[in-house]
């Protein structure tokens, strides 16, 4: 093989491991899923391939409520997580000094316990006759016959709590990277502290905001643990429907079709978001 040809081939050869990974762990499962979603039948006689596109339209017609709810809950939780995480990350990056590592550890520490256990713990904390609920009743924030557990608030709070580190850590990394001299320069040029924050800190933190919101929003939309443990069937999200279709109703085509629709909806959301924030941020967020 001539040197020239080898040079031409090298980039492709270097791509092989990555491509193989994508094919084996993404393309093949995705195509299998597409194949399953177009099957028809029932769980006793089995399912056969039929080009049954009706599953998709039925899935949208039957579960639009859960789709919209998932996006609403995940969106609210992402926003809340951002509002909590940004000051936190800002403080750790700029003000925590020698406490920095300890504070980062404190954010991560609860997540050494299993996701499920943490959510079950919230069941106890929020239960109807527990301390928290009783005090909130005293103050009047919860109605006398009201409750915290098994409500929308509990579910959204659970999602926010469970995904907080996915928001806080990328934000911290982005803020930490900012060159302080840029902020100094801004103030030297007569920017007020607010203007410096808005014109320098915030734009430079955008990649972190972008990464954090995606890392929070995407898994949150598909989450079903919080709705199942802290909510009721009136709070069930699309993840609950898919889980139940797959394991309880054993309607695999519908489960596969719903997963595909969820994937499609998320892709659209991400692309729209990337357009708004600019694709450069997407690249930087990934790097």
Partner 1 sequence: MSRESFESALERLLAERRHNRRRFVGRAGSAAFATSALGAFLSACGGAEGEGGGEESEERAATVNHPKEEFDEVVFSNWPLYIDKKVLRDFRAETGARVKYIEDINDNQEFFGKVRQPLQQDRGIGRDLVALTDWMAGRWIRLDYVEPLDKKNIPNERNLTDNLRNVSFDRGRRFSLPWQSGMTAIGYDSEQTGGDVTSIEQFFDPKYKGKVTMLADAREAASMVLFMQGKRPDEATIDDILAAIEFIDEKNRDGHIRRFTGNDYTGDLQRGNIAMAQAYSGDVIQLQADKASLKFSIPEEGAILWSDNMMIPQKPRTAYGAEVFMNFVYDPEVAAKIAAYVNYVPPVKGTQEILAKQDAKLAEDPLLFPTAEDVARLSGYPNLSVEEEQQMNEAFEKVAGA
Interaction between residue 233 and partner 1 (CB under 8 A): yes
Site for partner 1 in 45-84 (CB under 8 A): 45-49, 62, 66
Residue in 115, 85, 74 with CA at minimum distance from that of residue 214: 74
Three-state helix/strand/coil letters over 242-263: HHHHHHCCCCHHHHHHHHHHHH
Q: Which of 74, 169, 215, 245 is the binder for partner 1 (CB under 8 A)?
A: 245
Three-state helix/strand/coil letters over 93-118: HHCCHHHHHHHHHHHHHHHHCCHHHH
42 - beta bridge partners? 46
Q: How far apart are CA 202 and CA 10, in angstroms?
A: 41
* Residues 4-43: x where in contact with partner 1 by CB under 8 A, - otherwise, as a string: --------------------------------------xx
Q: What angle do CA 183, 187, 188 make, to 5 degrees?
A: 110
Q: Which of 33, 52, 123, 153 is the binder for partner 1 (CB under 8 A)?
A: 123
Q: How far apart are CA 209 and CA 187, in angstroms?
A: 24
Interaction between residue 250 and partner 1 (CB under 8 A): yes
Q: Which of 33, 152, 153, 232 is the binder for partner 1 (CB under 8 A)?
A: 232
Interaction between residue 244 and partner 1 (CB under 8 A): yes
Q: Which is nearer to partner 1, 76 or 244 (CB)?
A: 244
Binding footprint of partner 1 on the chain (CB under 8 A): 42-49, 62, 66, 123-124, 127-130, 145, 147, 149-150, 231-234, 236, 240-241, 244-251
């Amino acid at each position: 093989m001539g040197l020239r040809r080898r040079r031409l081939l090298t980039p492709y050869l270097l791509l092989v491991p990555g491509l193989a990974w994508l094919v084996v762990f993404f393309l093949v499962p995705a195509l299998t899923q597409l194949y399953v979603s177009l099957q028809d039948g029932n769980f006793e006689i089995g399912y056969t391939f039929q080009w049954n596109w009706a599953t998709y339209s039925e899935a949208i017609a039957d579960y639009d409520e859960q789709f919209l709810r998932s996006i609403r809950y995940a969106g609210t939780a992402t926003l809340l997580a951002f509002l909590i995480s940004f000051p936190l990350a800002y403080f750790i990056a700029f003000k925590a000094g020698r406490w920095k590592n300890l504070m980062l550890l404190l954010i991560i520490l609860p997540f050494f316990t299993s996701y499920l256990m943490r959510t079950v713990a919230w069941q106890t904390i929020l239960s109807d006759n527990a301390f928290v609920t009783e005090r909130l009743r005293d103050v009047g924030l919860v109605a006398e016959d009201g409750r915290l557990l098994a409500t929308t608030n509990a579910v959204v709070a659970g999602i926010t709590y469970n995904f907080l580190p996915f928001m806080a850590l990328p934000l911290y990394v982005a803020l930490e990277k900012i060159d302080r001299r840029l902020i100094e320069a801004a103030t030297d040029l007569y920017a007020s502290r607010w203007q410096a924050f808005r014109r320098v800190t915030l734009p430079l933190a955008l990649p972190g905001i972008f990464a954090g919101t995606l890392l929070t929003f995407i898994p949150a939309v598909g989450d079903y643990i919080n709705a199942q443990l802290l909510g009721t069937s009136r709070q069930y999200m699309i993840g609950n429907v898919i889980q139940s279709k797959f394991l309880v109703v054993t309607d695999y085509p519908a489960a596969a079709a719903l997963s595909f629709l969820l994937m499609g909806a998320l892709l659209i959301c991400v692309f729209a978001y990337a357009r708004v924030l600019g694709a450069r941020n997407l690249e930087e967020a990934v790097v």
